[in-house]
Structure 1
Amino acid sequence: MAVACRKATGQDIDTLYEIIQGYAAQGIMLPRSRDTLEAQIDTFVVAVIEDRLVGCGSLTRLGQDLVEIRSLGVTPGYKGQGIGNALVDFLLAEAKKQDIPKVMALTYEVKFFERNGFTVVPKEIFPEKVWRDCIHCKKQNCCDETAVLKRVD
């Protein structure tokens, strides 16, 4: 089955919400409301197999030269088929198209990101992330995610 990635549209919001809430319920992704998804739909991409939305991710600008991959997830039953890799490739191409040289993520799936060319780095090198998002997170003082970074320039 061929995976096609594309920019998300308003018609994708319900499925995006379901995918993200599934991960949020496991405590491995921040939840996003439907209103938030609607407001940020232009930052999301989706993976589609045979007209079925099977994965998603977003690219959020944190600074002049830095974006973050967020809300990267694959529908249960479709994991291990290269969908996550396809989404990351698409998001990296988007960052390059926007002339943003650094792409970071906070993740529990370090090996996945390393296979995609990212390097583990200290979280502290991203004050943009800390002051924008981490100050509102319940795990702020006990964050168990790992920061990864890739340059695309």
Structure 2
Amino acid sequence: MAVICRKAAEHDLDALYQLIDGYAQQGIMLPRSKELLKYSLDSFVIAEEEGRLLGCGSLCQLGQELVEIRSLGVAEGCKGRGIGRKLVDYLIREAREEKIPKIMALTYEVAFFEKMGFTVVPKDIFPEKVWTDCIHCKKQHCCDEIAVLKRLD
């Protein structure tokens, strides 16, 4: 059976939380409580195969002209199957449908995003991100993630 991407639903909440929590415990992703995930469920996309959640990602609007890909992850044992690419393609389509001209991410996987047409940029060009999320992050003053940007217009 093929991997499909779709909008997350409430029945995905536990699996979504477990996937994100696994990455958060490794310090690779910001932790998200189940309550926060439930509140922001409509921003999430999941990849699944035969009812099993294989990956996730979400879009967060940071301004009228900018959205961020966040919480992008693929389950252990499922990497290298193109799942991340399918999720990012889905999120890019969503941003285009909303007529958002720029999409960014903070990542450790720069090569992956470069293959998808993103370019490395300085983090400080995103004050929207800094004041939305970074201000609450424990890595705020020692952030080692790389900013990437893709123009959609």
Shared fold (TM-score, shorter chain, > 0.5):
yes
| Deviation by residue 1:25-62 (Cα, 9 ceiling, x = unmatched) | 10000010000000000100000112211100000000
| Deviation by residue 1:99-146 (Cα, 9 ceiling, x = unmatched) | 111000000000011011100000000000011111111111111000
Counterpart AA for 1:2: A
Distance across 2 between alignment mates of 1:53 and 1:24: 17
Distance across 1 between alignment mates of 2:130 and 2:31: 18
Counterpart AA for 2:150: K
| Deviation by residue 1:66-114 (Cα, 9 ceiling, x = unmatched) | 0000000011111100000000000000000111110000000000110
Distance across 2 between alignment mates of 1:106 and 1:114: 12
Cα RMSD after superposing both structures: 0.7
Give the count of matched residue pairs: 153
Distance across 2 between alignment mates of 1:135 and 1:57: 22
Deviation (angstroms), 1:151:
1.1
Distance across 1 between alignment mates of 2:100 and 2:13: 26
Counterpart AA for 2:96: K
SS at match of 2:72: strand
What is the aligned-residue identity percentage? Answer: 69
Residue aligning to 1:79? 79
Which residues in structure 2 correspond to 1:2-151 (within 5 Å)? 2-151=2-151
Distance across 1 between alignment mates of 2:6 and 2:138: 32
- Segments of 5+ residues of structure 1 without an aligned counterpart are none
Deviating runs (4+, > 6 A) in structure 1?
none
Counterpart AA for 2:106: L
Counterpart AA for 1:90: Y
- Segments of 5+ residues of structure 2 without an aligned counterpart are none
Counterpart AA for 2:98: Q
SS at match of 2:57: strand
What TM-score, normalized by structure 1, do the two folds share? Answer: 0.98
